[in-house]
Amino acid sequence: MASKFSAIPLLLILFFSLSHARFSPIFTSPETLCNSTPHPSFCKSSLPYNNPGTIHDYAKVSISQSLTNARNFLSLVQYYLTLPSTSYESTIRALEDCQFLAQLNIDSLSYAFETIDNSYDLPGSHSDDLLTLLSATLTNVETCLDGLQSTASASSILKAFSAPLSNGTQCYSVSLSLFRGGWVPKTAEGRLLTERKSINFPNFEKGARKFLPLQSTNGRKLLERFTDGVSVSKMVVVNPYGNGDFATITDAVNSAPNNTGSGDGYFVIYVVAGVYNEYVSIPKNKKYLMMIGDGINQTIITGNRSVVDGWTTFNSSTFAVVGKGFVAVNITFQNTAGAIKHQAVAVRNGADLSAFYNCSFEGYQDTLYTHSLRQFYRDCEIYGTIDYIFGNAAVVFQNCKIYSRLPLSGQFNTVTAQGRTDPNQNTGTSIQNCSILAAEDLASSNGTTKSYLGRPWKEYSRTVVMQSFIDSLIDPSGWAPWSGDFALDTLYYAEFDNTGPGSKTTERVTWPGYHLINATDAANFTVSNFTQGDVWLPATGVPYFDGLL
């Protein structure tokens, strides 16, 4: 269906928004605005020239163009999926990833345009939401490109897609930059705890917040062992041995209502102890779904897809979630393909405002794909070898145990591979009050395997390790390069107030992008500031502390 926006000439968008200004606007030229973006030449060529306007006006024009770009790209992908020559299964899978990601971008850009169409001012939470969505559009394009590049049979298609993907990246980057300049308050660029008011809850214990019961108007109490303060609309039981509502997790997910809101209460799926050989997907229309198991190594969801066996990294996941507001508790997620099969994801998470509590993630290379949007992990265990926490979400790990396993001969371990591609993305990996340890197989080996905190997967890779215990498995240099000097100037890697034999910083890398930070800087990567957790985490029932310890 044709967009109602695509038929509106860009100049009409500009002049319409000017006529509805709520304050005295500051007019400027496209050239001035474009010079502040990562792609000034592309920006100048795409915006209406010699027409005075505000940054808000030009951001609206740019987002409208981005929406048109996303729709055109989706049409291109769908065309190639219909061609008889597109017969290789690996190519089809890569194109299906691109189709899925392009549709996500259309949804995000449509929402962004509608939200800012008549507004020069947004509440702080709304500007955070749109900044997150626009950051994810770039991640989605990059993921599409990664999948095509890793598929040998897609080489000819990659040539046809090269220009559209490049144009999309630049278009979304300009939109993100202009939106950030027009709607995101300056304090949000480096928001400190002292600058943001938190919700006040009584009773603190070791920095973790004890939650007051939330009133539920339409639901029953959640399982007593988790919390009695979460609003629940309905609870169903998955039990493959009978005495449940469903025998499979997928059937239970499919039964959940579509597009519920945060005030409707959680649809809870209780998964009894057992091993579930299922590939589970939580789609975008299954929002505010909570899945609770019987505990780590009791409720196990397992699969073995891998890149070696023809899957893209993106669709190799045993468990994939996109639906907003997802919460998982007391579950083990596995990918058992093994180190020999290279990239093999246990969980891929692209769900905004999602949380995992007391869960385990088991794999080797690329175990946990924190793909995009805002995420939180508390009291979890993550096992892997190479880049086993990777992706481009705004994510905080808190009180987790992170275990490096024994890799293949000649390989080294990297805990993180963060994928930020643009300086305006609000993304990164924050590891707070965690323990970085050797798994049993690595600890009992001969000790020749080197392990690092991370390496820069993308140009603006951002990872912070703070207030954590780092054991002796971590090499004194701390961090590993990706390839030569790639991203060493543009990455942001930081450490703050860590302990343990691997935390000594005297022999750390001397890259321009590596930092030893103070408490003021570290506060920017806490739950409250980095993921706006005070706004959404209390309703989940998942414990957390919002600031530094």
Active site residues: 387
C-beta separation of 222 from 255 below 8 A:
no
Residue 172 burial by Cβ neighbours in a 10 Å radius (0-12, 13-18, 19+): buried
Tokens of 329: 């508790």
C-beta separation of 311 from 93 below 8 A:
yes
C-beta separation of 384 from 405 below 8 A:
yes
Q: Strand pairing of 435-438 and 401-404?
A: parallel
The Cβ of residue 388 has, within 10 Å, a number of other Cβ atoms equal to 29
Tokens of 142: 């990059």
The Cβ of residue 54 has, within 10 Å, a number of other Cβ atoms equal to 20
What spatial distance separates the first Cα and last Cα of the chain, rounded to whole Å? 52
Quote the CA–CA distance of 142 and 319 in Å, as a whole number.
21
Quote the CA–CA distance of 144 and 136 in Å, as a whole number.
12
Cα dist. 394→69, 80, 105, 289 in Å?
25, 33, 18, 20
Tokens of 188: 């949000």
Quote the CA–CA distance of 391 and 58 in Å, as a whole number.
30
Residue 347's DSSP bridge partners are: 319, 368
C-beta separation of 386 from 482 below 8 A:
no
> Could you tell me the strand order of the sheet in which 280-282 lies?
280-282, 319-321, 347-349, 368-370, 386-391, 413-418, 451-454
Quote the CA–CA distance of 143 and 94 in Å, as a whole number.
10
| Tokens 């496209």 sit on residue | 30
C-beta separation of 488 from 512 below 8 A:
yes
CB under 8 Å to 41, separation ≥6 — which residues? 34
32: left (phi > 0), else alpha (psi -120 to 50), else beta? alpha
Residue 349's DSSP bridge partners are: 321, 370
Quote the CA–CA distance of 519 and 526 in Å, as a whole number.
11
Q: How many helices (H) and strands (E) does the chain have?
A: 12, 28
Q: Strand pairing of 204-205 and 208-209?
A: antiparallel
The 3 state secondary structure assigned to 235-271 is: EEEECCCCCCCECCHHHHHHHCCCCCCHHHCEEEEEE
What single-letter DSSP state applies at residue 459? T
Alpha helices (runs of H) in 88-123, residue ranges in sequence order: 89-116
